[in-house]
Amino acid sequence: MDSILIKGGKKLKGTIRVSGSKNAALPELFASILTDDEVILQNLPRLDDTRASVALLERFGKSVKWTGRSSCVISAHSKPSGEIPYDLVRRMRASILMAGPALARYSKVRISLPGGCAIGMRPIDIHLEGFKKLGARVTLKGGYVEMTATRLVGARIKLRYPSVGATENLVMAASLADGKTVIENAAREPEISDLCAMLSGMGAVISGAGTARIAIEGAARLGGVKHRVIPDRIEAATYLTAAAITGGDVVLEGAEPSHMRAVLSKIAAAGVRISLAGDTISASASGRTLKPVSVRTAVYPGFPTDLQAQWMALMSVVKGDARVVETVFENRFLHVAELRRLGARLSVCENTVRISGGAALSGAPVMVSDLRAGAALVLAGLAAGGVTNILRVYHLDRGYENLVGKLRRLGAGIRRVSG
């Protein structure tokens, strides 16, 4: 298994380009199921998760051709199998996002329940409740959810929580339903607005994207589209945090600052000088003394849960006390034990981590438990004295395009070791 070796202590300096958003790209790849016409996606990040989604699409009768570094053409070539098996769902929870388009298009879908489903149906209950409202028959058998509907019918759906995935799944299904669907308490993340823009390009009539009330007028058929995926706000913020933690100066091109207001204001509050010019964000931390800043994760437009781990790494080295409160996911503190191995002073109490900052981190072997935990360990490694050896880096390959290459370009002492 590959690992990443980091020799910490170098200030990052230079310019890199932000990749396309993973979390927008995944539902948008699956949205191609809604049509037999050609779908062209541009600014698609080359990641293990996008490759896994392409493999799923191929299983669903699609032909996917990369036509450049970051564009692909998706067309229909055979009849789909209609089943999404456990080995694919286990590897990528986002494969649940295929359920909506597949149900709408083929009237039937069988999808394995995601793993770690100890509390019954809970992790996808909001998706399933919504599908039922649209007229699907949902049955649970042998670890699979089977859904059938001769025709989906528009409905008023009030989500019990603004789940990102459920909102996306239901918007896609409703785009091919009979009549009007209104989703209330919908998630407002920019990735949802981007998906709605793509669906509108395919002929769906959608209003209210980016608000808590999305209305979708179902179409009898959707057509092809050429769509450009928005920039990855989480990747961008991870590199800004890297500038902060190393006391460096980093310029990001191809970013979308308007999607990053909560994060940019926290980074600025910590004392990093941020300047914006169009799609360019410059972060300057050199020669500046950073201050502790607490964060509380929340649904968009709040501080993203996908940046909580990275923020914890930063606050570990900034003098003073800070807190990170996680409100979106239960049990999303798996990185705490590994950050402690590097010398971070962290204590966990329920959904809050108290950080006693100003620690002098020192390199050690650490293990990645999930994508964003991995990003936090990389950041801590960049700031640590000595060598940090990061194991299980396949988690990082799921969501950061060319991570090692981009950090090397900024002058980091980092390399990937195959093994």
Q: Which residues are catalytically annotated? A: 117
Question: Would you give the end-to-end CA distance of the chain in angstroms?
Answer: 5
Cis omega (within 30 of 0) for bond into 301: yes
CB of 117 to ligand UD1, least distance (A): 10
Please report, as residue ranges, which positions from 305 to 334 form the binding site for ligand UD1 (by CB under 6 A).
305-306, 328-329
115 touches ligand UD1 by CB under 6 A: no
Determine contact, residues 380/361, Cβ cutoff 8 Å: yes
Please report, as residue ranges, which positions from 178 to 197 form the binding site for ligand UD1 (by CB under 6 A).
191
Question: Of the two residues 23 and 282, which places its CB atom closer to ligand UD1 in the complex?
Answer: 23
The C-alpha atoms of residue 181 and residue 215 are separated, in whole angstroms, by 6
Determine contact, residues 242/375, Cβ cutoff 8 Å: no
Helix axes 99-106, 164-174, angle to 10 degrees: 20
* Cβ-closest position to ligand UD1: 165
The C-alpha atoms of residue 12 and residue 246 are separated, in whole angstroms, by 6
Determine contact, residues 89/111, Cβ cutoff 8 Å: yes
CB of 197 to ligand UD1, least distance (A): 16
> Per-residue x/- mask for ligand UD1, residues 127 to 166, rule CB under 6 A?
x---------------------------------x-xxxx
Please give the structure tokens belonging to residue 207. 């209003």
**Nearest alpha-carbon partner for 236 in 411, 400, 381:** 400
Question: Of the two residues 78 and 211, which places its CB atom closer to ligand UD1 in the complex?
Answer: 211
Among the residue ranges 65-73, 121-129, 280-288, 387-395, the one whose residues contact ligand UD1 (CB under 6 A): 121-129
4 touches ligand UD1 by CB under 6 A: no
The C-alpha atoms of residue 48 and residue 215 are separated, in whole angstroms, by 33
CB of 243 to ligand UD1, least distance (A): 22
Q: What is the 3-state secondary structure (H, E, C) of 280-323?
A: EEEEECCCCCCCCCCEEECCCCCECHHHHHHHHHHHHHCCCEEE
123 touches ligand UD1 by CB under 6 A: yes
CB of 399 to ligand UD1, least distance (A): 8
> Per-residue x/- mask for ligand UD1, residues 65 to 104, rule CB under 6 A?
-----------------------------x----------
List residues near ligand UD1 by CB under 6 A.
23, 26, 94, 122-127, 161, 163-166, 191, 305-306, 328-329
